[in-house]
Amino acid sequence: MVDLIVGLQWGDEGKGKIVDLSAKNYDVVIRSQGGHNAGHTVVVDGKKYALHLLPSGVLNPNAVNVIGNGVVVYPKQLIKEIKNFGEEIKSKLLISDKAHMILDHHIAIDQAREKLRGKNAIGTTGRGIGPAYADKIARVGVRMGELKNIGKLLEKLAAYYEMNKEYFRYLDIKTPDMNELKEELNYYKEEIGCLITNTTQYLWDNMDKNMLLEGAQATLLDIDHGTYPYVTSSNTIASGALTGSGIAPKNLNKVTGIAKAYTTRVGNGPFPTEDLGKTGDRIRKQGGEFGTTTGRPRRCGWFDVVAAKYAVTLNGCDEVAIMKLDVLDGFEKIKVCVGYEINGSEIDYFPSELENVKPVYVELDGWDKSINVTEWKDLPQNAQKYIEFIEEKIGTKIKYVSTGADRNATIIR
């Protein structure tokens, strides 16, 4: 049985908490796309864990954690995370030999491009994710399995640097010293080489086990279906998780979509329900809305039913989790976007372009004291009405309601 957890907004919805909460029911937890630009924060017994490449199931002592072929891996970051958790986690960690590798020149390219774009910058994390995926599509990338033959890999990289020397010069990027690069690659091989394997075959051989696919980023950042060009460089939706792991569609059992009780976004791009005033500041402060990876303040606004319904449909969600409901405690009125206005006409669907979109709101009564509530019957009545309103509008059961950062502060309906 294979289940999938996917983000329904622009990321940072709290997927890590639901994966961690659910992981005890699974034998294998799989990360299928993205890189160390993703950040999952998990809180257990008051202790906070920040994950960037390791699957969120790493806190489950019984689960095997798989970094799939669709991920772009920055070995330095992965090694750092492994050391933070302890070498013993290597016994339950596998890395796809087909996953592509991020090297330092990818990071340098990413940062140089953003600088050159100026006011038209995408707002990337500068972690090299886009350039690594670009090399993958251009068929000049480096896969993790190539660490098995360092000599051959160095020859390939020397040819790559020669081919791109004018581009590197234009971006003012220094070509790596090959002796230093050889030392670096050997270090990667020594630290994580034993974890690199054919994970697709491993998953096929273990289809009798319970598996959980974990998405990174979220639907509205999908390279094809998100708010292009202000998106990430991979397919973040349910179908992308299958491509990024090698699991066949017929093996997918259940899709759980994750959304905050409000909306946030990091980086540039359209955001119809963004609040640039005191309300947005209040949500940011109460929700601690700062990036796990970069520390950047997140843009904040009200819940967008139109975008959520689009994401639920695109991913084929069977159920939804609403996170951080407690952040809205104390608001007298809560707005919900139920439609868009474009050039004087109202629509109820998510268009391909959002630049000229204005939100159409309804107001609901607010509530207080929802924090750390664990039973539906104990949730304030207006908070219950809010959840039921969203549930009706998106046409999908809201199974989980998160009311606090800790694993146990979760209502299961």
Contact 374, 400 (CB under 8 A): no
What is the C-alpha to C-alpha distance for residues 176 and 1, in angstroms, rounded to an integer? Answer: 45
Catalytic residue among 36, 40, 100, 105: 40
Residue 215 is predicted with a pLDDT of: 81
Q: CA-CA distances (angstroms) from residue 73 to 91, 109, 139, 144, 399?
A: 19, 16, 17, 8, 33
In this prediction the pTM is 0.92
Residue 41 is predicted with a pLDDT of: 67
What angle in degrees, to the nearest 10, is found between the helix axes of 381-394 and 305-315?
A: 50
What is the C-alpha to C-alpha distance for residues 289 and 16, in angstroms, rounded to an integer? Answer: 15
Alpha helices (H) in 65-128, listed in sequence order: 75-85, 104-117
Residue 40 is predicted with a pLDDT of: 66
Contact 289, 227 (CB under 8 A): no
Catalytic residue among 12, 110, 275, 304: 12
| Of 270, 326, 311, residue with least CA distance to 394 | 311
Per-residue buried b or exposed e for 265-299, using 16+ beta carbons within 10 Å of the residue's own CB: bbbbbebbbbbeeebbebbbebbebebbbeeeebb
| Of 401, 306, 300, residue with least CA distance to 347 | 306
Sequence-distant (6+) residues with CB within 8 A of 214 are 5, 15, 19, 29, 30, 31, 32, 55, 56, 57
Question: Structure tokens of 39?
Answer: 């950040």
Question: Structure tokens of 50?
Answer: 């920040």
Placement of tokens 């979220």 in the chain: 218
What is the C-alpha to C-alpha distance for residues 358 and 340, in angstroms, rounded to an integer? Answer: 6
Sequence-distant (6+) residues with CB within 8 A of 330 are 286, 366, 368
Number of Cβ within 10 Å of residue 190's Cβ equals 11
Q: What is the pLDDT along the chain (413 residues), one digit of tens a residue?
A: 999 999 999 998 988 788 778 878 899 999 999 999 776 666 666 777 778 899 877 878 889 999 999 999 999 999 999 998 888 899 999 999 999 999 999 999 999 998 888 877 887 888 999 999 999 999 999 999 999 999 999 999 999 999 999 999 999 999 899 999 999 999 999 999 999 999 999 999 999 999 999 988 899 999 999 999 999 999 999 999 999 999 999 999 999 999 999 999 998 999 999 999 999 999 999 999 987 666 789 999 999 999 999 999 999 999 999 999 999 999 999 999 999 999 999 999 999 999 889 999 999 999 999 999 999 999 999 999 999 999 999 999 999 999 998 888 999 99
> DSSP secondary-structure letter at 356?
T
For residue 24, the Cα-to-chain-centroid distance in whole angstroms is: 21
Q: Check whether the bond before 229 is cis (ω within 30° of 0).
A: yes
Residue 307 is which amino acid?
A: A
Residue 40 is which amino acid?
A: H
| Of 322, 307, 323, residue with least CA distance to 397 | 322
What is the C-alpha to C-alpha distance for residues 71 and 106, in angstroms, rounded to an integer? Answer: 15
The DSSP bridge partners found for residue 28 are: 64, 211
Active site residue 12: yes
Question: Structure tokens of 333?
Answer: 């009125």
Active site residue 40: yes
| Of 307, 136, 125, 78, residue with least CA distance to 232 | 125
Say if residue 372 is exposed, middle or buried (CB neighbours under 10 Å; 0-12, 13-18, 19+).
middle
Contact 325, 14 (CB under 8 A): no
Three-state DSSP class for residue 281 = helix
What is the C-alpha to C-alpha distance for residues 11 and 21, in angstroms, rounded to an integer? Answer: 18
Q: How far apart are the first and last CA of the chain?
A: 22
What is the C-alpha to C-alpha distance for residues 413 and 411, in angstroms, rounded to an integer? Answer: 6
Residue 296 is predicted with a pLDDT of: 82
Domains, the chain, with CATH or none: 2-75+202-412 (3.90.170.10), 100-195 (1.10.300.10)
Contact 53, 31 (CB under 8 A): yes
